[in-house]
Amino acid sequence: MRDVHLLGIPMDLGAGRRGVDVGPSALRLARLTPTLERIGRRVVDHGNVPVAVPEATDDPEALAFVDAIAAAARATVDAATAMPEGATAVFLGGDHAVTIGTYAARAGRGRTGVLWIDAHADLNTPATSPSGNVHGMPAAVLMGEGDPRLVDVVPPDARLDPRDLVYVGLRSVDPAERALLAERGIRTYTMTDVDRRGIAAVAEEAAAHLAHVDRLHVSFDADVLDPDLAPGVGTPVPGGLSYREAHLLMEILAGTDLVTSVDLVEDNPMLDDRNRTADIVVEMAASLLGKTIL
Ligand SMILES: [Mn+2]
């Protein structure tokens, strides 16, 4: 099995509610490393990348903290470059804007598919965003849409092809995002699909849709989980994945043997109940990286 290399990105610059910058500590406290070691993975922890502190950042712009977010993304690319080619990278957020850097760090190494597992599409641009928060924009940035300072982090030849992006778990999508999903022909599996067809059929079809790529980047937003299960998120939406549904999704993705990088984002310990959201996210990571019942 591949070694696992961890990198924390303690960033809440992209989120509307503060506190998600403590996510990397919460995931480590939830025993991420020993849990992965127990399933036979060797784990190397690279610590955290430097990220600006909002109060110490002079940012008069309408689009909040975009220079600091771009700087954190470039620091993520630099730090991830030190990871060996054959390793599995696990990135600990931080808000979902960290994915601009995590995807950019990995996408140059072959055709990279992205499974975006999230209640939200994160497909806004500065022109369409209702909130102006960058954590609602990263998926658009990966495809080359949005503020050029963010778009420029992803090398032009590594931009995400809409055919290589699949969503699972959507249940809160803005009108402009809905239009972009349709215009680009992006494959989506909403919670309605999960309800009607079951998570096994959805997960298998999502994986089959990405079978042509060289490697898979799984971007796991904790708010895809039902907030009754995982309350520690800044933008909870009722009606999310259950504990067993999320586990089965992870197990089926693990079975593809294509997953070479993972984001664990949007865990906000300030909004959580005794770190239970981080505990569950660590369990999901273990299933995604090879833990099985037998
Ligand atoms: Mn998200």
Look up 221 and say whether it is catalytic: yes
Q: What is the pLDDT of residues 48-73, one digit of tens each?
A: 999 999 888 877 676 789 999 999 99
Starting at the earlier edge strand, list the strands of the sheet with 88-93.
Answer: 43-48, 4-9, 88-93, 259-265, 215-221, 112-117, 165-170, 187-190
Under CATH, what is the fold of the domain 4-288?
Arginase; Chain A (3.40.800)
Beta-strand pair 165-170/43-48: unpaired
Distance from the alpha carbon of residue 249 to the mean position of ligand 1, in angstroms: 17
Residue among 110, 113, 106 at smallest CA distance from 84: 106
Distance from the alpha carbon of residue 4 to the mean position of ligand 1, in angstroms: 23
How far apart CA 42 and CA 231 sit, in angstroms, is: 30
**Torsion, Cα of 161, 167, 171, 176 (10° steps):** 0
**Active-site annotation holder among 5, 135, 217, 247:** 135
* The model scores a pTM over 0.95: yes
The answer on pLDDT for 272 being more than 90 is yes
Q: Where are the domains of the chain?
A: 4-288
Query: Tokens 């806004």, residue?
Result: 124
The answer on pLDDT for 11 being more than 80 is yes
Look up 205 and say whether it is catalytic: no
**Active-site annotation holder among 266, 267, 272, 279:** 266
How far apart CA 203 and CA 232 sit, in angstroms, is: 25
The answer on pLDDT for 207 being more than 80 is yes
The answer on pLDDT for 211 being more than 80 is yes
Look up 120 and say whether it is catalytic: yes
How far apart CA 116 and CA 119 sit, in angstroms, is: 9
**Active-site annotation holder among 122, 164, 245, 272:** 122
What is the residue-averaged pLDDT of the chain? Answer: 96
Q: Do the Cβ atoms of 29 and 275 come closer than 8 Å?
A: yes
Distance from the alpha carbon of residue 60 to the mean position of ligand 1, in angstroms: 25
Distance from the alpha carbon of residue 163 to the mean position of ligand 1, in angstroms: 19
The alpha-helical segments, DSSP class H, found in 108-198 are 138-142, 148-151, 175-184, 191-197
Look up 21 and say whether it is catalytic: no
The answer on pLDDT for 242 being more than 90 is yes
Q: Do the Cβ atoms of 76 and 263 come closer than 8 Å?
A: no
Average pLDDT over residues 237-244: 98
Report the pLDDT value the prediction gives residue 55, as an integer from 0 to 100.
Answer: 85
Average pLDDT over residues 170-177: 97
How far apart CA 66 and CA 60 sit, in angstroms, is: 11
